[in-house]
């Protein structure tokens, strides 16, 4: 077949590819966020471990106060990034309390896993540049 006759298929969007490639392994096996540190560390039963900067966690806070009720989660810059407290929400999520007392975001374990995987792929600058994540059943 001649070069010009080949069918060109469009590349899949990054987020669609991420959703298909990374399967959620379940509840984390360890969470570490030392007081004064700016990195949140979380380990998973499949051996994966993520180091997510507080800037990314707070910037993509999934709460309605930060995001409204749209279909997307938008990066919110210039928020307090001091992580003061972590508490569990049932058997499926964490509640993070920030230095300005903001604590309404419910970070599901699946959201944290996907965010960690995306951070591993894109880094902080890439995620900030992406600026918007879809709000699916996972995010």
How far is it between the farthest Cα atoms of the chain? 64
Q: How many domains does the chain have?
A: 1
Tell me whether residue 15 is in a domain: no
pLDDT at 133: 85
Domain that holds residue 32: 25-134
pLDDT at residue 20 greater than cutoff 50 = no
pLDDT at residue 60 greater than cutoff 90 = yes
Q: 32-46 in b/e burial notation, b at 16+ Cβ within 10 A?
A: ebeeeeebbbbebee
Decide which of 139 and 31 is more confident.
31
pTM of the model: 0.80
C-beta separation of 42 from 57 below 8 A: no
The encoded tokens of residue 115 equal: 């965010």
Tell me whether residue 52 is in a domain: yes
pLDDT at 96: 95
**pLDDT class of 137 with cuts at 50, 70, 90:** low
Distance CA 46, CA 32 (A): 17
Residue 65 CA to chain centroid, in angstroms?
Answer: 17
Query: Residue 44 sits in a domain of what CATH number?
Result: 3.30.2020.30
Give phi and psi for 117, each to the nearest 5.
-65, -40
Tell me whether residue 116 is in a domain: yes
Tell me whether residue 4 is in a domain: no
The encoded tokens of residue 7 equal: 């069918």
């Amino acid at each position: 077949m001649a070069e010009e006759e080949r069918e060109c298929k469009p590349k899949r969007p990054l987020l669609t590819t991420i959703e298909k490639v990374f399967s959620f392994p379940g509840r984390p096996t360890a969470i570490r966020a030392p007081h004064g540190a700016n990195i949140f560390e979380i380990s998973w039963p499949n051996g994966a471990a993520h180091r997510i900067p507080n800037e990314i966690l707070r910037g993509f806070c999934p709460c309605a106060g930060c995001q409204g009720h749209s279909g997307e989660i938008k990066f919110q810059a210039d928020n307090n990034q001091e992580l003061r407290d972590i508490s569990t929400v049932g058997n499926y999520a964490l509640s993070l309390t920030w230095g300005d007392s903001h604590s309404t975001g419910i970070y599901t374990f699946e959201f944290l896993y996907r965010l960690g995987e995306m951070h591993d792929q894109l880094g902080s600058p890439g995620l900030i540049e992406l600026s918007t994540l879809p709000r699916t059943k996972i995010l």
